[in-house]
Structure 1
Amino acid sequence: MADGIHQGTPVHRLRGLPDPVRPRPAGADAGAVTPGGAGSRYSLPPPEARHVRGSTHPPAAAAGRHAGGLRLPGGNTALPAGEVATLLAAHHWRLDEATDRRGRAIDALMARPGQPLQLDFGDGRLAVSNTCNRMSAPWRIEADALQLGPLASTMMACTDPALASLDREVATRLRGRLQLALDAGPRPRLVLTTAGGDRLAFSGHPTAATRHGGAPERIFLEVAAQARPCHHPLMPEMQCLQVRQVHYDAHGLEAGPRGEWQLLYDPIEGYVHRPGVRTVLRIDHYQRREPVPADASRHAYVLDMVVESEAVDP
């Protein structure tokens, strides 16, 4: 297939499209998302909530360097603090277990079993997700400890009492100096211990950048409210998303006409399509590492942010 994309052509690659749009710089006017069309604007998360997901060479690694190292639990091998910061930034850390100093479960921290509390280290800030509000804090490695600065949070009302309690419980524990133990094995584990003896154990899950390698290309795609049948030799009932590219300028304003509708054969990781809902997505597009299996696409699309969402009448 040629590099360029034509109307009706399955979207296996996006290299023929114009240069990716860069995110709006901090300090630019923040505006509410409006429905599509010329002059539409999207809003980035606030600066304190932004992070570089899964960068294999994150700026945070430099911020996290220390003359000392981190001793792994149960062993004699110490990781330099810079390597610790890189390992932390290369994974999403999801809470598996939370106990107090007496070994009792802290149920309030496990309020969302299907979406456990998640930590992401990067860009000099720790991002906390799967809570009611987005949270973040500056972080650095000091010998065998994680030092956190003041925790910032959005101010959404939490109507679910369990989620409201989750936010409070997180805020009381992710603060100040936390003892840090890191197992850098094939299935990384992170344990944070508070000054009061609470123990939070996280499992590491590779980020998209870690899995696919390299920095992504940032693109914006509008996804139509309805998927369409598309031909696949092994999947006769396959449905494909209808997508077209959207362009934004450096201020977050939509610039120029939207592209032609096309069929996207590849999935968008992290995105669940709801029939009847039109969305605009900010996507990280990766070229998969070689060797790529013969039955797999060379391209991976990962959801970074939902810019716009609108229910459409059938």
Structure 2
Amino acid sequence: MKRILMLALPLALMAACSNPSQTTTKSEATPAANTATPAAAASIDATQLGANHWLLDTAVDSAGKRVDALFVRADKPVTLDFKDGRLSVSNACNGMGGGYTLEGDALSVGNMMSTNMACGEPGVMALDGLVSERLQGKLTIRSLDASQLVLAAANGDVLTFRAEPTAEARYGGEGERVFLEVDAQTKPCTHGVMRDAQCLQVREVKYNEQGLEQGKRGEWENFYGNIEGYTHQPGVRNVLRLKRFQVKNPPADASSLAYVLDMVVSSEQVGK
């Protein structure tokens, strides 16, 4: 049995306004005052920032040239999440995060901490530094709405992110935290319209506030449905931290519960 990853369970359990411009008469206006500038929000709503995951869509330098090095993972764009005064970055090599503050259209990000994992994919290892040097310090929010966030970095790069609503926004609440162990292999199952399907085998795991497991794990059960954000890898058994949401008015053949991956607590390779 080969251990792949183990994170500390206690960690798993814990986890404005800009100045108004002066009024001038037509004769007082100067060419500089008439120069078009990017639209910036006078007051940035932190709630709006936190309602979405922000996926990097475009990035150009001060000369308008695309920053190709930020897109080495085409299927997994660099993603920002804002919550409780912290900015988290995913889909680089390591997970990164740091505190942030808002003042007018200025977003100030403190020193970013990260996990310490090596990545073998070409270009991915360098992503941590490339992202960190653009996000740390003071940035300008060029625009923010329900679909897009545009940030101007101190080095002149302009980063545009597209919005993807968080599970909390989609389901209308914080959800319930649960832990499920997912077995290494799926099994054939039939449920409703699902014929000759393969179901994940799961069982609940319970921990106390100190991260110590409580009670005995039960029997494996069929899991009918999907876990958002989780891709099952045959031969790998995982313990997952999930958020479970009530689905309002689900279709007749669908579950009233939705499960969203929060983090992988542990993984291990299991022999066949």
Give the TM bin, normalised by the shorter chain: 0.7 to 0.9
1:298 alignment partner, one of 253, 256, 265? 256
Q: 1:98 — aligned with what?
A: 59
Distance 1:215 1:195 in 2: 34
Do the aligned residues in 1 keep the contact of 2:13 with 2:211 (CA within 8 Å)?
A: no
Uncovered stretches (5+) of structure 2, i.e. residues with no partner = 21-36
2:170 alignment partner, one of 184, 206, 211? 211
Uncovered stretches (5+) of structure 1, i.e. residues with no partner = 1-31, 35-40, 51-65
Do the aligned residues in 2 keep the contact of 1:226 with 1:242 (CA within 8 Å)?
A: yes
Which is worse superposed, 152-161 or 193-202?
A: 152-161
Do the aligned residues in 2 keep the contact of 1:43 with 1:307 (CA within 8 Å)?
A: no
SS of residue paired to 1:302: strand
Mapping of residues 179-190 of structure 1, within 5 Å: 179-185=140-146, 188-190=147-149
SS of residue paired to 1:86: helix
Distance 1:221 1:69 in 2: 50
Mapping of residues 139-154 of structure 1, within 5 Å: 139-154=100-115
- With normalisation by structure 1, the TM-score equals 0.73
Do the aligned residues in 2 keep the contact of 1:110 with 1:116 (CA within 8 Å)?
A: yes
Structure label with greater radius of gyration: 2
Do the aligned residues in 1 keep the contact of 2:10 with 2:210 (CA within 8 Å)?
A: no
Distance 1:161 1:231 in 2: 42
Is 1:201 matched up with 2:174? no
Which is worse superposed, 272-281 or 123-132?
A: 272-281
Do the aligned residues in 2 keep the contact of 1:69 with 1:80 (CA within 8 Å)?
A: no
Q: CA deviation at 1:109?
A: 0.9
RMSD between aligned residues: 2.5
Distance 1:297 1:256 in 2: 27
Identity value in percent? 48
Distance 2:186 2:264 in 1: 18
Q: Residues 129 and 100 of structure 1: is their aligned pair in 2 closer, same or farther, counting only changes over 3 Å?
A: same
- With normalisation by structure 2, the TM-score equals 0.84
Structure number with higher strand proportion:
2
How many residues align? The count is 252
Do the aligned residues in 2 keep the contact of 1:221 with 1:243 (CA within 8 Å)?
A: yes
SS of residue paired to 1:163: coil
Distance 2:190 2:19 in 1: 54
Q: CA deviation at 1:43?
A: 5.2
Is 1:174 matched up with 2:147? no
Q: CA deviation at 1:225?
A: 1.8
Alpha-carbon displacement from aligned partner over 1:50-80 (angstroms, at most 9, x marks no partner): 5xxxxxxxxxxxxxxx34599xx9779x574
Q: Residues 160 and 43 of structure 1: is their aligned pair in 2 closer, same or farther, counting only changes over 3 Å?
A: farther
SS of residue paired to 1:164: coil
Q: CA deviation at 1:242?
A: 1.4
